[in-house]
Amino acid sequence: MSASAAPEDPSADTPKDAGSFSDEDVDTDADLAAEDEVPAQLPLSAPYVFDLSHVVAAAEVLDTAFAEMTDGPAGWGQVENAIEARGGMDEVLTRELAAVGGRSLSVGEMRKPGTEFVADRFLPDPKNASVDVVELWREVLGSVTHPAAVARLEELLMIRRDGNLVHRARHAAISYLAAVAGVDNSLTTGAYLTRAWTISRLFKLFDVEDVILDEIERRVRLPGARQCIGHVMPLLAVIAQKPTNSLRQGALHATAEKLLTDIVAMEVMHHVISEASDLRRKMITPGPHADAKRAETRIDEMAALRRIAAATSEPLVKQSHLATAARFATQHNLRSDLREIQRELEVVSAGDLGLEKISSSAHIPSWIPESELHAFTRGHTWHRGLRYFLESPVPCGDIDRIRTSVRGRPFAIRHLFTTVLLGADGLPRKTLTTPDEQVEHDVALHVAIASRHMGQIHGSGLYRLGEKYSTPTETELTTWLLDVYACDPDGARVLAKAFCHFWAGDYLEAAYVATPAVEAAARRLLREMDEGAYQVQVGNSPGKYPSLGTLLDELLRISLDPSWHYFLTWLLLGPEGSNIRNDIAHGFTTTMDPVHATLVLRSAALLITASGSVADEQKTLALATQLAAPRPGPKGLGDRAVAVMSRLLLRGHMLAEARRYRA
């Protein structure tokens, strides 16, 4: 197979850098980011000095290596194998030949058809090849017989800008075409054909482009093409483009449309269906029927996504497929499909998803938690222990330190896989797709471990407090809260009622009472600081208060501690946290453990016992988060030492547990 034309003028204008890479073509930011990930260029043991006696042996080695139709590191290995089979070769010559065979072809993405002859950063740059190396390429080019070897040497000489670049481009493209003659479809044949097409387009070799398109069209028409989707998709991406010869466009696009339609109807991989549909839309020409044709491709794509979901029996896999279909239906306003998908998604999520709980435990000396628990029962009455709880620091610890710790730790293998967060109803709540989202998820995991640890400690402390002193009545609690914290009477009464439910073992009732109180307290604090939170009626939109998340953000803007803000958001709202407030509001919470009930009590108490004020235009939010002061003087030294040691040991233990969990 060949193509001929009259010889071009050697002085004719040629595309910049002969269709290869240039400094402008390289993504500098990506290069800098990858500097630590790629090996340095091969050390030059000695510069190559051309010797005419090397030519025959070098040509035989390259012919043998390229007979396997490989490139990149595999091509390097084929060169070394061929040299070893000959009994060895000069070390410097071996290095140069391996650098020829080890170059790579990079097939473009579906939306960027074609193939580039890339700059392998671990190999010497062909632009800087010495005169002796270039002479070796020239002489070996005249002796090699395998078309793939010819194409590779022509590409190297093109990059070096040696000789007539148009002639070299024509020879390289025709050689790539000849190399695939009689060879079945594969990733390599696809790369060779699309590289030949790229060269022909770049150098405006129209006759060569026609021959290449003939071969591509023949291959995609083969009966087995549908069974090798990965091999033919790059070829389909080429013929879906507008050819230079506009007379061929109709036939080429008809061929591509037929096969792409079949792929959408039969394929089971989402990304292949998406790419095939994009190519179908790319071929639509402007006109009165263009919108209808685009709508048809989306209907076909929607049907394919639903077909994949329907064919799946594994609940979690089906849920994932349905979620993908729902996103597509939402994006393209396919409402009837969306309603049916939502119904199917809820049916699947309401059943057994086959999830497994993974837990671990570790032994710690009992005196470590006991040193914290002692503070709940060391007084003569319940008042001191309850005040200790109400004035305890944020359960998760300092959020800035947590973020610093998370960002400073090594990359985890689980980050290679997409994480989907499920709600209490089993439905997908959020999919983590970016590194920043993974970091925030890891921060939330750290906060969860630390907070639940402290929730368990403080819950046990409250239980011991009630066991030792007998639990105070709702009236006693309300009166004490008003006396000590001068808080809102309604808030004090609700908080007292929640504590009574907790001590009675009614953890669900305690959470149901305390959770709305957090929102009410947040609104009250904003009013006390002259911050308008109410959203007035606008048109047909009725007046209303904003969501809890907005209220907490407003408090953060004024003076709420960032660690408390993160903890409250994590505990009460989603999607990264426990989402207790929303789950209770929607009726998903039917049970409650004492740990989370304790954390809800702590959250409600934080804002109910807080006070807001405005003085000299300065807004202040005062939180009762300082621990009750130990006894003054020498008698209090022991108390202070125990308190400091207890906090340090508990934080150290929580950090160790978090690291062990992440590992």
Q: Both 655 and 618 in a single domain?
A: yes
Q: Which of 190, 266, 194 is nearest to 226 (CA)?
A: 266
Task: Using a pLDDT cut of 90, give the percent of the chain over it.
Answer: 61
Over residues 202-260, the pLDDT tens digits come to: 999 999 999 999 999 999 998 887 778 888 999 999 999 999 999 999 999 999 999 99
**What residue type is assigned to position 657 of the chain?**
E
Residue 75 lies in a domain: yes
DSSP states along 548-602: HHHHHHHHHHHT--HHHHHHHHHHHS-SSS--HHHHHHTT------HHHHHHHHH
Residues 486-498 have pLDDT tens digits of: 999 999 999 999 9
CB distance 552 to 522 below 8 Å: yes
**Total number of domains in the chain:** 3
CA distance 533 to 540: 19
Average pLDDT estimate for 337-349: 92
Sorting pLDDT into bands at 50, 70 and 90, what band is 661? low
Please report the pLDDT score of residue 662 as a whole number. Answer: 56
Q: Does 400 reside within a domain?
A: yes
Stated as kind and residue range, the H or E segment containing 652 is helix 637-662
Any residues with CB less than 8 A from the CB of 74 and at least 6 apart, and which?
A: 68
**In the prediction, which pLDDT does 81 show?**
94
Asked if the model's pLDDT at residue 614 lies above 80, the reply is no
- Calculate mean pLDDT across residues 370-383: 90
Q: Which of helix, strand or coil describes residue 221? A: coil
pLDDT of residue 608: 94
In a 3-state reduction of DSSP, which class is residue 244?
A: coil
Is pLDDT of 198 > 60? yes
User: Do 505 and 626 lie in a common domain?
Assistant: yes
Contact status, residue 397 vs residue 429, Cβ threshold 8 Å: no
Q: Is 131 inside any structural domain?
A: yes
The tokens of 279 are what?
């190519």
- Dump pLDDT digits (tens) for 532-587: 777 777 777 787 788 999 999 999 998 899 999 999 999 999 888 999 999 999 99
Structural domain contains residue 361: no
Quote the pLDDT of residue 225: 79
On whether both 337 and 225 belong to a single domain, the answer is no
Residue 119: pLDDT band with limits 50, 70, 90: low
What integer pLDDT is reported at residue 369 of this predicted model? 85
**Residue 658: pLDDT band with limits 50, 70, 90:** low
Q: How many CB atoms lie within 10 A of CB 73?
A: 13
Q: Do 339 and 201 belong together in one domain?
A: no
The residue out of 180, 204, 239 marking a domain boundary is 239
Residue 274 pLDDT: 94
Give the domain-ending residue among 197, 214, 239.
Answer: 239
Greater confidence, 24 or 634? 634
Any domain includes 332: yes
User: Does residue 207 belong to any structural domain of this protein?
Assistant: yes
Domain that holds residue 24: 1-239
Helical ranges in 285-434 per DSSP H:
290-310, 315-331, 335-350, 367-377, 382-390, 399-408
Kindly tell me the burial class for residue 649, based on how many C-beta atoms sit within 10 Å of its own C-beta (0-12, 13-18, 19 or more). middle
Identify whether residues 218 and 302 lie together within a single domain: no
When comparing pLDDT for 121 and 319, which is higher? 319
**pLDDT-based confidence at 459, cuts 50/70/90?**
very high
For range 304-333, the mean pLDDT: 93
CA 61 – CA 320 distance, rounded (Å): 51
pLDDT at 517 > cutoff 90:
yes
Can you give the pLDDT at residue 425? 82
CB atoms within 10 A of CB 181: 10
Per-residue pLDDT at 13 exceeds 60: no
Mean pLDDT for 327-331 is 95
At residue 45 the predicted structure's pLDDT band, cuts being 50, 70 and 90, is low
**108 and 163 in one domain?**
yes
Question: Quick one: 317 and 416 in the same domain?
Answer: no
The span from the CA of 194 to the CA of 197, in Å, is 5
- Judged against a pLDDT cut of 80, whether residue 413 lies above it is answered with no
Model confidence at 27: pLDDT above 50: no
The verdict on 586 and 468 lying in the same domain is: yes
Q: Given a cut of 90, is residue 432 above it in pLDDT?
A: no
Mean pLDDT, rounded, of the chain = 85
For the stretch 92-101, pLDDT in tens is 999 999 999 9
**Listed residues 327, 353, 379: the one ending a domain:** 353
Q: Specify whether 570 is located in the same domain as 485.
A: yes
531 in a domain, yes or no?
yes
- Does 568 map to a domain? yes
Indicate the pLDDT class of residue 12, thresholds 50, 70 and 90. Answer: very low
Same domain assignment for residues 453 and 491: yes
Residue 450 and residue 318 share a domain: no
CA neighbor of 531 nearest in space, from 542, 545, 511: 545
| The pLDDT of residue 267 is above 70 | yes
Asked if the model's pLDDT at residue 196 lies above 90, the reply is yes
Same domain for 115 and 75 = yes
CA torsion sign, 266 to 269 to 272 to 273? positive
pLDDT attached to residue 26:
36
Helix axes of 206-220 and 165-179: crossing angle, nearest 10 degrees = 20
